[in-house]
């Protein structure tokens, strides 16, 4: 590893940045979470490795979208296909991008058509109270897709506790290649009503690619309201619209003829009704998601038009017997559908019942068993257990977790290129795919060295059977040849008998106040992974995850001046393809920098920013070339 990489890793990112006169406490290193257990509990009592970042911190770093923010959180690998929210795949602990579940206020975001759309989170950063990232198996509570981990976004209007007051924030950024980004949002919370709304737009002509420029026009709008009916009842509602049009060259293929463009529109509606009295808490949530996807491979090809729908409902009941014993139970329903000229018209239903118990056997020892009965219209019933434990001894925390995970194939894996009259090359779906199953276990040690420093280490292993991935397959070996050309080059979605992933991760969080005007915040994440398949051939996504990954961010405040850095160093298998402009190099290091000055203290900030400071040529996936150095500047305002 190069010296500049080591220098950056020595201080890297912040989960909870320090405000101008904020005093750091151990609670900043041990925040309350709801993701691991479905009820509020300190992260040290969950037996899990969690990372929490406050929503107000997002605008302080050199990032432009939520997927870019996640890219620098410890343990997160974000395989970006395009910049500033165009498209990204989330990978946690070496799983495929479909094996990370994204949730907004308890409801699933994962798209039934393809996991590539999971980064299209229909939410505005100004609406976010916090983001919780749970690493590792979570299917016992959340069901399908919660294999590698869970990304849970909790918003201000839907949070259990509202902070009274109001806030307005806005920002604008302009730069090279026709860049113009803007965002604005507001929040109000009184005795009865809570309102939150915002808009965000990222636009650029883009840097030159092989066949076209890497343009993007990305727009999000969201509004939510909550009303406290009385001391027991509260209701909240959100509606969001997200529209993204972008260059998608080699996002899904490695062919030189691919000069694709794509437009994805998402409509999201969410309703929550909550009842709380004494030791009982009940919530009923309903959600509707509709995604229209228009994909053109090149100017002469017939475009794919896909409309996917997701209807879902979630009911949960929590009873606190006392401070040491909490029971949570619930039921979930989903109806997934697609109408497509490429994949055909299909629907599938899922339902589940689950129960979890949080037990503090003593002040130091906690144990949390959970059990889920999952039903899928195609794969039938599945019993999914999990158990988590933790033990605190002074500054040391020992934790362990073990559980089963499941995932059902999405519509792209089952039906891609299935409805066309002739397919000459590309990825071919497989309707006969079995559901993925795996067993995961982990053990970790957290060291709370001080109120400012926490070091967490975790060993984990996941043993998969029937993992779904794409593998190069000859025409003769294709199970269905009805619309295939004998001379084509194909990748078939298939179940791989066994895939075992072993890894070690470490997170470092350090926050230090030199005095009332000088603050430093540092976080770094380190991950080592090794995946082994049993079938003797290489699958696409299991071979593309990083073998070694470190990422993080530094923020330094002195008076009205502030500077932040974020970066990533990644080692993976090298790849190349004839005729493509970019390659997947064995390793890369990318650094972004942002420097600002508050013209009005803590309110009006002027900044300059450089993405990819060292002008590194790199790609996370073959052919999907990422931008080189990009210079920009702007203003941000908070009241």
Q: pLDDT band for position 25 (50/70/90)? A: low
Q: Could you tell me which of 601, 571, 606, 605 has the C-alpha nearest to residue 586? A: 571
Instruction: Return the pLDDT at 516.
Output: 82
Instruction: Return the pLDDT at 537.
Output: 63
CB 324 within 8 A of CB 360: yes
- pLDDT at residue 481 tops 80: yes
- pLDDT at residue 17 tops 50: no
Q: Are strands 107-108 and 128-135 parallel, antiparallel or unpaired?
A: unpaired
Chain-centre distance for alpha carbon 240: 18
* Sheet of strand 149-155: strand arrangement: 49-54, 128-135, 149-155, 100-104, 107-108
CB 582 within 8 A of CB 550: no
Rounded to whole angstroms, the Cα distance separating 488 from 467 reads 25
The neighbouring-strand residues paired with 508 are: 455, 524
- pLDDT at residue 113 tops 70: yes
Torsion angle of C-alpha atoms 334, 339, 342, 348, degrees rounded to 10: 30
Among 134-138, 234-238, 325-329, 467-471, where is mean pLDDT lowest?
467-471
Q: pLDDT band for position 538 (50/70/90)? A: low
- Could you give the percent of the chain with pLDDT greater than 70? 95
Q: Could you tell me which of 159, 238, 162, 233 has the C-alpha nearest to residue 197? A: 238
CB 321 within 8 A of CB 279: yes
Q: Are strands 261-277 and 280-296 parallel, antiparallel or unpaired?
A: antiparallel
Q: Could you tell me which of 130, 162, 11 has the C-alpha nearest to residue 66? A: 130
Instruction: Return the pLDDT at 602.
Output: 85
Q: What are phi and psi for residue 550, nearest 5 degrees?
A: -135, 140
Average pLDDT over residues 423-429: 90
- pLDDT at residue 172 tops 80: yes
Instruction: Return the pLDDT at 7.
Output: 43
Instruction: Return the pLDDT at 39.
Output: 85
CB 448 within 8 A of CB 29: yes
Torsion angle of C-alpha atoms 530, 534, 536, 542, degrees rounded to 10: -40
For the stretch 145-160, pLDDT in tens is 999 999 999 999 998 7
Angle at 353 between CA 231 and CA 284, to 5 degrees: 25
Instruction: Return the pLDDT at 540.
Output: 74
Q: pLDDT band for position 23 (50/70/90)? A: very low
The two tokens of residue 268 are 């999201």
Q: Is 278 exposed, middle or buried (0-12, 13-18, 19+ CB in 10 A)?
A: exposed
Alpha-carbon Rg for the chain, nearest whole angstrom, is 23
Q: Are strands 280-296 and 344-360 parallel, antiparallel or unpaired?
A: unpaired
The helix or strand, by DSSP H or E, that contains position 421, with its residue range, turns out to be none
Rounded to whole angstroms, the Cα distance separating 458 from 502 reads 11
CATH number at residue 416: 2.40.170.20
Angle at 450 between CA 444 and CA 456, to 5 degrees: 20
- pLDDT at residue 15 tops 50: no
Domain interval for residue 141: 3-638
The two tokens of residue 557 are 């405040």
- pLDDT at residue 1 tops 80: no
- Please give the C-alpha separations between residue 307 and each of 111, 267, 299, 474, in angstroms, as whole numbers: 11, 11, 21, 30
Rounded to whole angstroms, the Cα distance separating 25 from 46 reads 20
Rounded to whole angstroms, the Cα distance separating 55 from 128 reads 5
- At 577, is the secondary structure helix, strand, or coil? coil
Residue positions counted in the chain = 639
Residue scoring higher pLDDT (516 or 367): 367
Handedness of CA 517, 185, 57, 62 (dihedral sign): negative
For 334-391, the DSSP string reads: EEEEEEETTTEEEEEEEEEEEEEEEEESSSSEEEEEEEEEEEETTTEEEEEEEEEEEE
Q: Which of 119-123, 400-404, 574-578 has the highest mean pLDDT?
A: 400-404
- pLDDT at residue 552 tops 60: yes
Average pLDDT over residues 392-401: 95
Instruction: Return the pLDDT at 522.
Output: 93
The two tokens of residue 601 are 């203290």
CB 462 within 8 A of CB 430: no
For the stretch 502-514, pLDDT in tens is 999 999 999 988 8
Residue scoring higher pLDDT (40 or 389): 389
Identify the DSSP state of 164: P
The two tokens of residue 509 are 């969080």
Count: domains in the chain: 1
CB 605 within 8 A of CB 597: yes
Identify the DSSP state of 57: G
- pLDDT at residue 581 tops 80: no
Q: Is the model's pTM score more than 0.85?
A: yes
Q: What ranges in 112-253 are assigned the alpha helix state H? A: 139-142
Q: Could you tell me which of 183, 185, 168 has the C-alpha nearest to residue 218? A: 183
- Please give the C-alpha separations between residue 21 and each of 512, 551, 558, in angstroms, as whole numbers: 12, 27, 11
- pLDDT at residue 367 tops 80: yes
CB 549 within 8 A of CB 526: yes
Instruction: Return the pLDDT at 542.
Output: 73
Chain-centre distance for alpha carbon 187: 24
Instruction: Return the pLDDT at 165.
Output: 86
Average pLDDT over residues 38-60: 89
The helix or strand, by DSSP H or E, that contains position 5, with its residue range, turns out to be helix 3-9
- pLDDT at residue 539 tops 80: no
Among 14-18, 296-300, 587-591, where is mean pLDDT lowest?
14-18
């Amino acid at each position: 590893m190069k010296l500049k990489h080591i220098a950056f890793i020595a201080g890297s990112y912040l989960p909870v940045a320090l405000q101008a006169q904020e005093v750091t406490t151990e609670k900043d290193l041990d925040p309350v979470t709801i993701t691991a257990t479905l009820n509020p509990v300190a992260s040290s009592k969950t037996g899990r490795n969690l990372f929490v970042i406050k929503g107000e911190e997002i605008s302080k770093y050199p990032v432009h979208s939520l997927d870019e923010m996640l890219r620098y959180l410890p343990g997160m690998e974000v395989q970006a296909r395009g910049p500033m929210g165009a498209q990204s795949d989330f990978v946690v602990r070496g799983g495929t991008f479909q094996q990370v579940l994204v949730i907004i206020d308890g409801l699933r975001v994962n798209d039934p058509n393809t996991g590539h759309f999971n980064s299209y989170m229909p939410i505005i950063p100004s609406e976010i109270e916090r983001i919780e990232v749970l690493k590792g198996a979570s299917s016992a509570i959340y069901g399908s897709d919660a294999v590698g981990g869970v990304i849970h976004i909790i918003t201000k209007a839907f949070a259990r506790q509202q902070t009274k007051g109001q806030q307005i924030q806005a920002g604008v950024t302009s730069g090279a290649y026709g860049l113009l980004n803007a965002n604005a949002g507001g929040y109000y919370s009184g005795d009865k009503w809570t309102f939150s709304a915002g808009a965000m737009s990222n636009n650029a002509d883009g840097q030159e690619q092989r066949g076209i420029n890497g343009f993007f026009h990305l727009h999000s709008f969201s509004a939510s309201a909550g009303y406290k009916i009385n001391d027991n009842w509260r209701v909240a509602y959100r509606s969001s619209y997200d529209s993204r049009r972008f260059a998608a060259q080699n996002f899904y293929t490695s062919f030189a003829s691919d000069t694709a463009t794509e437009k994805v529109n998402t409509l999201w509606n969410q309703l929550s009704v909550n009842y709380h009295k004494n030791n009982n808490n009940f919530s009923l949530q309903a959600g509707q998601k509709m995604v229209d996807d228009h994909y053109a491979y090149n100017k002469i090809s017939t475009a794919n038009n896909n409309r996917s729908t997701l209807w879902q409902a979630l009911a949960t009941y929590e009873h606190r017997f006392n401070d040491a014993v909490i029971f949570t139970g619930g039921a979930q329903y989903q109806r997934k559908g697609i109408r497509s000229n490429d994949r055909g018209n299909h629907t599938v239903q899922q339902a589940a019942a689950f129960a979890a118990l949080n037990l503090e056997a003593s002040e130091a020892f906690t144990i949390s068993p959970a059990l889920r009965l999952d039903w899928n219209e195609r794969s039938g019933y599945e019993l999914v257990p999990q158990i988590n434990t933790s033990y605190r001894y002074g500054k040391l925390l020992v934790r362990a977790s073990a559980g089963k995970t499941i995932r059902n194939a999405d519509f792209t894996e089952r039906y891609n290129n299935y409805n066309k009259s002739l397919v000459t090359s590309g990825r071919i779906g497989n309707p006969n795919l079995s559901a993925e199953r795996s067993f995961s276990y982990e053990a970790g040690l957290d060291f709370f060295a001080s109120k400012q420093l926490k070091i967490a280490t975790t060993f984990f292993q996941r043993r998969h059977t029937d993992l779904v991935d794409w593998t190069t397959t000859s025409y003769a070996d294709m199970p269905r040849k009805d619309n295939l050309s004998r001379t084509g080059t194909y990748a078939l979605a298939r179940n791989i008998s066994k895939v075992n992933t072993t890894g070690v991760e470490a997170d470092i969080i350090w926050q230090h106040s030199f005095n009332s005007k000088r603050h430093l915040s540092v976080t770094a994440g380190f991950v080592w992974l090794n995946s082994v398949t049993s079938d003797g051939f290489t699958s696409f996504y299991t071979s593309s995850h990083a073998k070694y990954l470190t990422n993080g961010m530094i923020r330094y405040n002195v008076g009205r001046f502030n500077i932040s850095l974020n970066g990533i160093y990644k080692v993976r298998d090298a790849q190349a393809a004839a005729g493509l402009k970019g390659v997947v190099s064995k390793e890369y290091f990318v650094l972004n920098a942002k420097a600002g000055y508050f013209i009005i203290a803590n309110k009006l900030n002027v900044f300059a920013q450089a993405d990819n400071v060292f002008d590194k040529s790199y790609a996370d996936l073959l052919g999907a070339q990422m931008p080189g150095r990009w210079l920009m500047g702007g203003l941000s305002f908070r009241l």
